[in-house]
Amino acid sequence: MKTQILPLQGIRVVELGTHVAVPNATRFMADWGATVIKVENFRGDEWRIVGRNNMCPITDDENPFFTLQNANKKFIGIDLKHKDGMGVMLKLIDSADVFISNVRLPSLKKMGLDYDALSARFPKLIYVHFTGYGYEGPDAAKPGFDSVAFWARSGAMGDWIADGDYPFLPNTGAGDATVASILCSGILAALLGRQATGKGTFLSSSLLGCATWYCGSGVVSTQFGNVFPKDKDRPSNPFGCPYKCKDGEWLMIGVLDYNGVYSKLCELLGLEEIREDERFSTITSVRQHIAEFMPIVRNAFMQKDRDVWVEAIGAINVVCGPIGHMKDLHTDPQALANGYIKPVTFPSGRSVDMPAVPIMFSSYDAPDYIPSGEVGRDTEEVLRECGYTSEYIKAARAGGAVK
């Protein structure tokens, strides 16, 4: 029987975060029951307006692009340059288990929100800071978006392509969303560690650090001669690459043991004439004759539509799937059946199919998907929870400390 108590219920997080990586990490925690208080200046997180670059609405009543990382949070607007505003911020942190930010370190120090200042005052606090490139080295002070610090600097943008192709352009925020998983796992580990020690800790990560980890197989293999970007006419495994089919769509076949499935695939593809050909029958030999082999296989795949091939290849227990399109993912029956997509109705009245946090617990119900709202939507509620009176809240709002 499932319970309404979620696994992180009782944990409080104060987020002074912008864009994707930090807000995405705390979105996980919010879905798992933590109270996440997102602190914004009166203009709001810049990510609130980025949706317009991606053809999405950006109003307070309908901002799906921003909601993706910020659903299920509480929003408070604070002027941190205002003395009373900073007082509210410190009151929030006093009640928090976790403080997390991607504001650059000099700015945090100037405000008195650096680790040394806060840990002295709140020794049990888990302090989380995220950067573009880390704290040391020639680029430590540089700002970094995921397109530059994650995809470009790591080599993924230039190496995850066929030789001579235009550099790979990732989906907006995809690198940030990826590293958020590492960031969130570190936070959970720190919370577990605090149970044993009773002490908080400083926890940090960066776009470049995470990209280096995710590109680990390339980091290692290039030291032994593996070459990127790949020549599309000379793949290292011709049964581990994409093929275009008769209907113009593509499939991806994923074979680890080339030698073991070569004969079966030749039969399926109608290539009986090369089934016993020693030039192609092993991974070692086919690499020596790849220029002869690739046109034969490509021509074979062009004889039938993609979905026909995907079904036939799957039937012989070889991993294969369609190369799909993002526009179709929100209606993908597999994604829908497993709850990876959820319809969310915004205050505007429009329903949008939104990706869901892809973790399911047997003992806990999935939370509601509460859209983001205006800057400071929950300011009064959050301040009341901290013990502020109605009179103080009214005065702080009038004085410009909070929104």
User: Has domain 12-214+332-398 been given CATH number 3.40.50.1100?
Assistant: no
Say if residue 4's pLDDT is above 90: no
- My answer on whether omega of the bond before 238 falls inside 30° of 0, hence cis, is no
Look up the pTM and report it. Answer: 0.92
Helix (H, G, I), strand (E, B) or coil at 271: coil
State the average pLDDT over residues 56-78.
97
CA-wise closest residue to 66 among 33, 35, 40, 34: 40
Instruction: Identify the three-state secondary structure at position 333.
Output: helix
Instruction: Say whether pLDDT at 108 is over 70.
Output: yes
Alpha-carbon span 243 to 72, nearest angstrom: 41
* Res 273: pLDDT: 95
Tokens found for residue 369: 């998907």
Can 12-214+332-398 and 242-323 be said to share one CATH topology?
no
Q: Which of 176, 233, 257, 328 is catalytic?
A: 176
User: What phi, psi does 212 have (nearest 5°)?
Assistant: -60, -40
21-24's contacts with Cβ under 8 Å and 24+ in sequence apart are 21/102, 21/130, 21/146, 21/176, 21/177, 21/179, 21/180, 21/183, 21/207, 22/100, 22/101, 22/102, 22/128, 22/130, 22/180, 22/183, 23/47, 23/69, 23/70, 24/69, 24/173, 24/176, 24/177, 24/180
State residue 95's pLDDT score.
Answer: 94
Tell me what pLDDT residue 1 has: 59
Q: Is the pLDDT of residue 218 over 90?
A: yes
- Model confidence at 123, pLDDT cuts 50, 70, 90, reads very high
Domain boundaries, the chain: 12-214+332-398, 242-323
- How much is the average pLDDT of 84-105? 96
Q: How many residues appear in the chain?
A: 403
Ramachandran sector of residue 100 (left: φ over 0; alpha: ψ -120 to 50; beta: rest): beta
Spatial CA neighbour of 93 closest among 24, 34, 39, 31 = 39
Q: Residue 27 pLDDT > 70, yes or no?
A: yes
| Section 214-234 average pLDDT | 93
In the residue annotation, 176 being an active-site residue is answered as yes
Furthest CA-CA distance within the chain: 87
Instruction: Return the sign of the alpha-carbon dihedral for residues 52, 57, 62, 67.
Output: negative
- Residue 164 or residue 351, greater confidence: 351
pLDDT at 109: 96
Of residues 94, 96, 128, 125, the one with CA closest to residue 199: 125
- What architecture (CATH level 2) is domain 242-323? 2-Layer Sandwich (3.30)
Inform me whether the pLDDT recorded for 3 exceeds 70: no
| Structure confidence by residue, pLDDT tens digits, 274-311 | 999 999 999 999 999 999 999 999 999 999 999 999 99
